[in-house]
Structure 1
């Protein structure tokens, strides 16, 4: 995808949906029902909660209860959500020169990893596997 203007929220959302669809089948079937949202920047409360100083430090966020922490006795709740932060992603895209789809895909993989309760090491391995499978 070639852009002459900064990609919009809708552009990032389309890339995120494509990235979700490109996940390995065993992961993809387990993330059905996760909502994907794109916001411009994280809210101040989120930054404060995460101990971050600047909104561009956070490209994505998983909101929900990881599968490893769920119980059959849990009360029903809203869907788990992955939020992508457009400005943060675009800043990283500009600074690194990384392919935008690959960048969005890695944010999706990282946040899906949180959904599964994976460790940072396991998430990094998934991101590397995604890079190996990328065109």
Structure 2
């Protein structure tokens, strides 16, 4: 899958988020990068499909609106492509990853996402 096709699949996953949920997303930007670069303190060999960085909606106070940078969701292309054996699998994994990372934006943690089948 080309970079453009991957980006289109991410865009489609974003568009598929129901409007009643999407309207509550606030100050969040989505990026696509090739691969996660481990940071000091990360587990050796860590491989991420996506990453949410920011302050979840459930933790924002009145102070938040005073010049806060956007939350950042990054989808990592290479690990998704490597774990999938077909275009359909890539599209499905992108959808799962987008939903998973946006759930973090809404304050849902990994354990709850796993319970819901979005782990």
Give the TM-score, by structure 2 length.
Answer: 0.81
User: Distance between the aligned counterparts of 1:98 and 1:92, measured in 2?
Assistant: 12
Is the counterpart of residue 114 in structure 1 residue 96 in structure 2?
Answer: no
* Equivalent residue in structure 1 for 2:71, among 72, 77, 80: 80
Equivalent in 60, 67, 71 of residue 57 of structure 2: 67
Residue 5 of structure 2 aligns with which residue? 11
Counterpart-to-counterpart distance in 1, 2:11 and 2:75: 11
- Corresponding residue of 2:30: 36
Closer/same/farther in 2, CA of residues 10 and 79 from structure 1, 3 Å limit: farther
- How far apart are 1:126 and its partner, in Å? 6.5
What SS does the aligned partner of 1:100 have? helix
Partner Cα distance (1:66, 1:73) in 2: 14
Aligned to 1:30, the other structure's residue is in SS state: coil
Which of structure 1's runs of 4+ aligned residues deviate more than 6 A?
none
CA contact (8 A) 1:65 1:115 kept: yes
Q: What's the secondary structure of 2:84's corresponding residue?
A: helix
Where is the helix percentage greater, Structure 1 or Structure 2? 1
1:31-72 Cα shifts (integer Å, max 9, x gaps): 255211111111232xx44x33225x2000011111111111
Tell me how far apart the structure 2 counterparts of residues 116 and 93 of structure 1 sit (CA, whole Å): 27
Aligned residues: 117
Unpaired runs of at least 5, structure 2: none
Could you say what the CA RMSD is over the residues aligned between the two structures, in angstroms?
A: 2.4
CA gap 1:102/1:114 in 2 versus in 1, 3 angstroms: same
If asked which structure has higher relative contact order (CA below 8 Å, sep 6+), I would say 2
Q: CA deviation at 1:98?
A: 6.2
| Counterpart secondary structure, 1:53 | coil
Structure-2 residue corresponding to 1:127: 118
